[in-house]
Structure 1
Amino acid sequence: MKPVRSLARVMLSGIFVVSGARNFQHPHRLVPAAKPVTDRVTPLIQQVAPQLPTDTETLIRANAAVQFTAGLMLATGKFTRPAALVLAGTLVPTTAAGHPFWSNDDQATRNNNQVHFLKNLGLFGGLLLAAADTEGRPGLRWRAGHRIGHSRRSVGRAVRTARREARIAVRSAAAARRLPG
């Protein structure tokens, strides 16, 4: 199953690596579409981290750099689960800015944006699957539950052993009192 996972990750990450590199080099072509989204996000960014730049072109470059880096991480199999989650997070503003089919009046543009919106929704689903994929190894939830069960069994064994040793000690003490001496 490993080759299939590896190939699927490379295929899934390809769009992020290529578009991330392209958008980092040429962010100005995306500014008109991204401006409505960045204008809504800017106050939140200024509130959380006032030192960060909030101009649209810089935000596009930051998103592109994150997509490029996380895409490479996903493709190479390094930190795949966090990389997939980060890519899913970057896909939300990208999709909202790039494919707002709900606001198009022209039917052809609306249909085109709707197709791309649904494509990105499919990518989002694939990234969620990649983020949840433990590669056949137990996940954190199973490991925690297994560890708790193991601990309970260990405590139970320790309690039974302590009871048995206490009974032996009581019998030994009683036998010692009965001995003449």
Structure 2
Amino acid sequence: MTDDASSNDPPSALGRALYGGILAYMAIDGFRNNDKRVEVARSKGVPMPDVLVPVVTGMLFVANLGILFWKFPRASAGALVVFFLGTTPTIHDFWTMEGEDRQNNKINFLKNVALLGGAVVLLEEASDRDG
């Protein structure tokens, strides 16, 4: 990172839009399929899934907006890190599955790990810019 004035500019708007587009899709899909997601969470032993699933989906949506518009970026990126750390190993525990379920959940697990990596980069960027 350079020490010039551009170091105060937010990260790439295109990059944030691409990343945010995926997160927006995930959140909207989560709201649309809330009942199914609640049942999956219940089957995984998530406590109070009727409450936690919509709350976590809302957190994903709001954090996504923060990244997209670069408002409260540290809190937004931190919320994404928490989201992916909590949901990825709990919901996509492919190592407990067989066949097609195993393969599909492995793909979703790896996708979420990549999205977690992006959230960590954004968290570092937000922290660097805040001083």
Tell me the TM-score range normalised by the shorter chain.
0.7 to 0.9
Question: Partners in 2 of 1:82 and 1:112 — Cα distance?
Answer: 31
Report what 2:109 is aligned to: 117
Report what 1:38 is aligned to: 46
1:12, CA displacement in angstroms? 1.4
Secondary structure of 2:98 counterpart = coil
Q: Confirm whether residue 128 of structure 1 aligns to residue 128 of structure 2.
A: no
Count of aligned pairs: 123
Q: Confirm whether residue 74 of structure 1 aligns to residue 67 of structure 2.
A: yes
Runs of 4+ residues deviating >6 angstroms: none
For residues 36-62 of structure 1, give each alpha carbon's deviation from its aligned partner in whole angstroms, at most 9, with x where no partner exists: 2413xxxxxxxxxxxxxxx31221100
Once the two structures are superposed, the pairs formed by residues 23-172 of structure 1 within 5 Å of their partners are: 23-35=30-42, 36-39=44-47, 55-106=48-99, 108-134=100-126, 137=129, 140=131
The two structures have a TM-score, normalised by structure 2, of 0.80
Residue type of the partner of 1:38?
A: V
Q: What are the ranges of 5 or more consecutive residues in structure 1 without an aligned counterpart? A: 40-54, 141-181
Question: Partners in 2 of 1:87 and 1:135 — Cα distance?
Answer: 14
Structure number with larger C-alpha Rg: 1
CA RMSD of aligned residues (A): 2.3
Cα 1:14–1:111 change in 2 (3 A) is: same
Q: What are the ranges of 5 or more consecutive residues in structure 2 without an aligned counterpart? A: 1-5
Report what 1:21 is aligned to: 28
Identical-residue share of aligned pairs (%): 27
Do 1:6 and 1:77's aligned partners in 2 also have CA atoms closer than 8 Å?
A: no
Question: Partners in 1 of 2:36 and 2:104 — Cα distance?
Answer: 18
